[in-house]
Amino acid sequence: MKSTWANATNAKALLGWEPTVGLEEGLQRCVDWYRGNRSWLQKLPGVCGAV
């Protein structure tokens, strides 16, 4: 990824939160989770492909 506009400054200042993984790894984890939990996702109302 060449650049990002993501900024966690407010989250750190207001909540004391800091990211523990980088953006690319976090996105990959998210994609992997959704791929591994498609049946759960399809049960949600209003989701494309829901049964």
Distance CA 6, CA 26 (A): 13
3-state DSSP assignment of residue 27: helix
Q: Where residue 7 falls among pLDDT bands split at 50, 70, 90?
A: confident
Q: Where residue 27 falls among pLDDT bands split at 50, 70, 90?
A: very high
Average pLDDT over residues 13-36: 92
Residue 49 has what pLDDT?
58
Q: In 3D, which of 2, 6, 10, 50 has the Cα closest to residue 26? A: 6
